[in-house]
Amino acid sequence: MKKIPFLLVLASALLYGSLVSADWIKEQQGLISDYESFVNLKESELAAPESNFKKGKYESEAEFNARVESYRNKNVRRFYFEYEAEFEVPNNSSSVNFPYSPFARHTISEDIDVRFGEGENAFGAKSPMMVTRGVRQVFQANEFDLQWTYPYRTLSIDKKYLQKNNADIVFIKVIDIDITDPDSFESLLDTKVARRDDLLSEQRFINETLVKGNLIAVGLYDKANKATVGFFSPKHDIFYHSYNGQLDNLIEKEKQSEKDKQSED
């Protein structure tokens, strides 16, 4: 008699777990499949917000930031970023590997001027030099509680599926950005000083704006067939293969891979 309640609880837990799984799969599938309904980040022309607030004479930095935050009206907008998926085709393998990192930086736009000329040092010696100037805007996702040991993974996609459909695979990132938050925009400099020891010395000065936002969904999309190939769970601990319904537990796969390496050693 005692086994019946236990079995009922176990069955309920399994049912609840499957429903939760179905919920995130349906949600993430919809976001990746309909990504073009959002604004293309490459066409958004975002700029850091101008502040009408001035720091008080005897106001600390923390007090000033708190005052600005209390008056700020949040304006979170949803965008998508699409980029070509790099891949590797291993020998004697039934899968194609797609490397991925959630925190990789992506160029949104840039206006770069490159010129070639001659540089001269303090002693009058001349050498060819490349001069690079311009502006660049890049995106990088805010960090979240990623359970991976390393901030990158390789996704294995069935080779027969890709060949059969002559797939054209891209990564899609659906992103939320608070465009009124100054912390969503960071000013950086990409610089390099020309050195005569280099085969072709470069003098580089590029003003960068780093745009930051939260990842809402990430997946692989086949542009040739307008089909979602797969996508991550919100915490990036599971990858769902849309074409065959397979669920890859990335945390468990990583642990198994580490065990295999240790056994080989």
pLDDT for residue 76: 94
**Model pTM?**
0.81
* Mean pLDDT by groups of 10 residues along the chain of 265 residues: 44 41 88 97 89 83 84 88 96 96 95 83 70 95 90 93 97 96 92 75 91 97 97 94 94 77 67
Candidates 154, 151, 146; CA nearest to 253 is: 154
